[in-house]
Chains A and B, each alone.
Chain A
Amino acid sequence: MADFWERYSRSRSAVLGLGLLGLVIFMAAIANLVFPEDPFRLAGRPMSLPGTNGFLLGSDTLGRDVAAGIAHGAKTSILIGLVATLASVFIGVIFGALAGYYGGRIDDLLMRITEVFQTIPSFVFAILLVAIMKPSIESIVIAITVVSWPGVARLVRGEFLSLKNREFVQACHTLGMGDLRIMLREILPNCLSPIIVIGSLMVATAILIESGLAFLGLGDPNIMSWGFQIGAGRTMLRSAWWICTFPGIAILITVLAINLVGEGLNDALNPRLRERN
């Protein structure tokens, strides 16, 4: 662990990313304490400039507090990003493990399915899924999961393909271990690092997809999110630039932080890759 941290902290940008991500998570954690009221409520004079009428980052057309929206939106982004990523990794690991381990027809069939899902333009597909299921936090998570798992499946399949003929797996066969046990207990732990790396980068993509959906009006109507704030403020762009600007900066910082952490993890977990560059 100390060894891992030493390798991780060698990159300044990775540490910076971790710090920024910590700030965003802290903001999400204290959102209910600092802004205990509903972020949708009318909090004061509409269209207040940042720093006036008690609004740190201004208020929007309906008098909602932009800062409160950003704090509560952080919860939404992180929650959706994490849950959708966990679900995609789960599905992707099952597909990839079965395809890579068994090979042959199973591999053909599963990879064909994966290929179809990879071909479909993912954002348009996500829009369609949310529109059909009606916008809600569940349908958004499902849509992001459906468009994100194929990448994991391909990665895990590749890892399983290269590991399944190694000596330690053959030894397990000789010992009479079952397939399921070999897959879960022997092979899977050996491909955890690339899964962790791709998973961390997927959280960032999931947050971007979620904000895009919310911007187009496909967010959960009862939950505050950064994309929704920007979508609601865009009609007032000419007179109130701050409504759109600050939530966008929040998205930028969060996604940037996660990407930096992902790259840092990649360098720390796969040190051999680093030396190639």
Chain B
Amino acid sequence: MNRTSKIFRYVLKRLAQGVPIILAIVVLNFFLLNMAEGDAVDVLAGEAGSATPEYMAELRAKFGLDQPLPVQLLVYLKNVASLDLGYSFRHDMAVSKLIIDRFWPTLLLMASTIFIAVTFGILLGLMAATRLNTWKDSAISIFALITYATPLFWVGLMMIVVFSIYLGWFPTSGMENVAAFYEGFDRVADIARHLVLPTITLSLFYLALYTRMMRASMLEQYGQDYVVTARAKGLTERRITFVHVLRNAMLPVVTMAGVQVGALIGGSVIVESVFAWPGLGMLAFESLFARDLNLLLGIFMLSSVLVVAVNLVVDIIYSFLDPRIEVA
């Protein structure tokens, strides 16, 4: 069997592995929803101010909440399959629509974060590994150690104090200056200016992670036989580092970027609520205060599915990048 059809089969196999995980997450979601005190009818009745017990029973029958639990679960599965994640009574909107609206700012923030963190992580790790045990190596290690231990929200707040309040270089919050009615390029520039601080904050933690990984990965590659061979045939150290070692050392860092996407979503909840960045994380923060459980569960579900999807994509890319990987 040739390699392309092997990879194709591998993709199908990984897809088949992802489905039960997503199913398990949906079922978990259903039970969490049932664990919470009160149901949608209680919320509705609370919103309306008063409701008679008869009316509430009628509403429950209408929503199917009087059915036995397994039946409710089936109905819930069917709803989720048709992308119906319930209704947010606070926002008076379908949860799926709300989530899609707020998805793009989060995607923008995450994409710029991954880009910054991976690029600078690789650069710093490379620098530390090639200048092993010099002051540069120690400085980079200490930087990684400290950022690893700093809570993201605190970094965000300190960034605001220094760069927004004292220096006035960047805006404190939001995604754009709506009152200015910028259009075209001006609007892009305005969003980019708002993007700087949240991106730096969110990328710091991952920057530390990737720096440490890249350093370790470079050192591991330097010990391989092919490096000895390259030296023996008289290649310069510079060529060995940049052409041979670097490319191999980058592989685990790329995979790690996929594995960390779940943590990245968690971090974006924090960073978005610090900088009032109008994405999914901010929406989750708002739904906490509004006690809007349907919405919170919807965000949770979407982010879980996103992690499964990203891991799948990264695995597939990896199998293309590294021909040694076993795909059968």
A218 neighbours in B (Cβ, 8 Å): 288
Q: Does B167 contact A (CB under 8 A)?
A: no
A211 at the interface (CB under 8 A from B): yes
Contacts A116-B25, A131-B296, A244-B157 given; does A123 touch B266 at CB 8 Å: yes
Contact (Cβ within 8 A) B307 A120: yes
Q: Which B residues lie within 8 Å of A237 (CB)?
A: 157, 160-161, 165
Taking the complex as formed, is B311 at the interface, i.e. its CB lies under 8 A from any CB of chain A?
Answer: yes
Say what secondary structure dominates the interface of chain B: helix
| Complex partner residue of A128 from B150, B160, B297, CB under 8 angstroms | B297
Q: How far apart are B158's CB and chain A's nearest CB, in angstroms?
A: 7
Interface with A: B89-97, B237-245, B267-275, which one?
B267-275
Contact assessment for B161 and A248 in the assembled complex, using a CB-CB cutoff below 8 Å: no
Is the pair A230, B288 in contact by a Cβ cutoff of 8 Å? Answer: no
Pair B300/A252 contact, Cβ less than 8 Å: no
Q: Which residue of A lies closest to B161 (CB)?
A: A241
Is the CB of B232 closer than 8 A to any CB of chain A? no
Q: Smallest CB-CB separation from B299: which chain A residue? A: A124
Interface size classification for chain B: 35 or more
B 283-321 binary contact with A (CB < 8 Å = 1; else 0): 011001100010011011001100110010000000000
Q: Flag whether B151 is at the interface (Cβ < 8 A).
A: yes
User: What is the CA–CA distance of A116 and B32 in the complex, to the nearest angstrom?
Assistant: 15
Check A44 for interface membership: any CB of B closer than 8 A: no
**B210 at the A/B interface (Cβ < 8 Å)?**
no
Q: How far is the CA of A244 from the CA of B165 in the complex (A)?
A: 14
Bound Cα distance A62, B165 (Å): 23
Can you list, as one digit per residue, whether each of A115-147 has a CB less than 8 Å from chain B (1) or not (0)?
110011111110111011100000000000000
- Residues of B in contact with A (beta carbons under 8 Å apart): 20-21, 24-25, 28, 32, 35-36, 145-146, 148-154, 157-158, 160-161, 165, 216, 219, 262-263, 265-267, 269-270, 273-274, 284-285, 288-289, 293, 296-297, 299-300, 303-304, 307-308, 311
> What are the 4 tightest A-B residue pairs by CB atom distance, in nearest-first order?
A123-B266, A248-B154, A256-B149, A121-B262
